[in-house]
Amino acid sequence: MLNEFSGADGMRPADAMALTVQSVEDVALGVKKFVLADRNGNPLPAFEAGSHIEIILPNGITRAYSLLNSPTETSRYVIAVHKSPDSAGGSLYMHEVLGAGDTVRAAPPRNNFELVETAAHACLIAGGIGITPILSMIHRLCQLGRSWELHYCARTREHAAFAGLLAELAKSSGNAVRFYFDLEPNGSRLDIGAVVAAACEGTHLYCCGPKAMLTNFEEATQALRDRAHVEYFEAKGPAAREGGFVVVLEKSGLTLTVPPGASILDVVGDAGVSVSSSCREGICGTCETRVVEGVPDHRDALLSDAEKQANRTMMICCSGSKSGRLVLDL
Ligand code: FES
């Protein structure tokens, strides 16, 4: 993942674990690796390749980070954090304040970027810190003895976290990794269209990186439908804030009007109905809500086109309504 997204603290306290920072290590220019473990040494909730955890920092900010270690490890979660020049306090805090021995709260892992373990071949594309969920996938593919290839883009070799480890994993498993360092003399740029065009039948393709890379990937894989997988770390586009529709909360028996400028999540929360949330921009899935009736205006980066057309669920933090009335399972 871009590897962090901002969010309000919508995590339910009962869900949160206390994790101790075991170690902090520089792994590339502007990137630190953090090893987290249960404060009392207990096994951690299991996770799948591609999962992330949401961390509530001691300064109250919630951030989500992809797990990069092997899903077979039960004693630790490993994340890497890129220090963002636009940080609102998340990556800055992680880099400049959080240290070994500190404690953070975190929600159990969630997975919006699932690896299809039975695929004939996996083509993995990563940009910058987007390597983190991809690295966990590679650990898993190596354990399964599956065929994979990695295309990893970074500004220079010094910016490419885990480049040495990835080269070793590729060599020891008989798979291929190719690096693209566009700011180096004689550096190269990845042609996503060419990589996608060369993918054999049965290949599943995965991409995690900056928004421009994900847009290119989605354009190039339009015809591949459920064989193409992306993970966004920032909003895919503007949230629906047009308002002017009614939301009926079926279980609560409330009918609410969503005014221009407000999100459904805000209006529902103001009415006293609690819905968990984190990113508030359609990239984490925490606020996913079942739609009983009506046509949502989907603005999230999670649901597939088919899921959006089915209108069974929606992310109420960023999506609106195309119909004048929306009935939700709340
Ligand atoms: S809160 Fe993250 S998708 Fe809605």
**DSSP sequence for 4-40:** --EE-----GGG-EEEEEEEEEEEETTEEEEEEEETT
Q: Which of 228, 204, 213, 230 lies closest to 282, judged by CA? A: 230
Neighbours of 233 (CB within 10 A): 28
> Is there a single domain that holds both residue 144 and residue 102?
no
Dihedral sign from CA coordinates of 119, 120, 126, 129: positive
> Residue 114 domain-assigned?
no
- Given this model, what pLDDT does residue 87 score? 66
**Could you tell me if the CB of 205 is within 6 A of ligand 1?**
no
**Could you tell me if the CB of 239 is within 6 A of ligand 1?**
no
> Is there a single domain that holds both residue 181 and residue 263?
no
**Alpha-carbon distances of 136 from 1, 10, 72, 131, 141, rounded to whole Å:** 12, 27, 10, 9, 9
> Residue 268 domain-assigned?
yes
Neighbours of 70 (CB within 10 A): 16
| Residue where one domain finishes, among candidates 198, 231, 264 | 231
> Residue 150 domain-assigned?
yes
- Domain of residue 91: give its range: 6-106
> Residue 239 domain-assigned?
no
Residues paired with residue 124 on neighbouring β-strands, in sequence order = 150, 206
> Residue 67 domain-assigned?
yes
Write the CATH number for 277.
3.10.20.30
Find the 195 Cα to ligand 1 centroid distance in Å: 31
Return the structure tokens found at 97.
């304040």
> Is there a single domain that holds both residue 150 and residue 216?
yes
**Could you tell me if the CB of 134 is within 6 A of ligand 1?**
no
Find the 177 Cα to ligand 1 centroid distance in Å: 33
- Given this model, what pLDDT does residue 10 score? 46
Write the CATH number for 45.
2.40.30.10
Extract the residue ranges of the chain whose pLDDT is less than 70.
Answer: 1-15, 87-88
> Is there a single domain that holds both residue 102 and residue 139?
no
Task: Please write the tens of the pLDDT for every residue from 94-106.
Answer: 999 999 999 999 9
- Given this model, what pLDDT does residue 9 score? 43
- Any idea what DSSP says for residue 120? S
| Residue where one domain finishes, among candidates 47, 82, 106 | 106
**Could you tell me if the CB of 277 is within 6 A of ligand 1?**
yes
Domains held by the chain: number: 3
> Is there a single domain that holds both residue 250 and residue 321?
yes
Write the CATH number for 185.
3.40.50.80
- Given this model, what pLDDT does residue 15 score? 65
> Is there a single domain that holds both residue 128 and residue 206?
yes
Q: Which of 219, 212, 216 lies closest to 234, judged by CA? A: 212
Find the 276 Cα to ligand 1 centroid distance in Å: 8
> Residue 111 domain-assigned?
no
> Is there a single domain that holds both residue 84 and residue 15?
yes
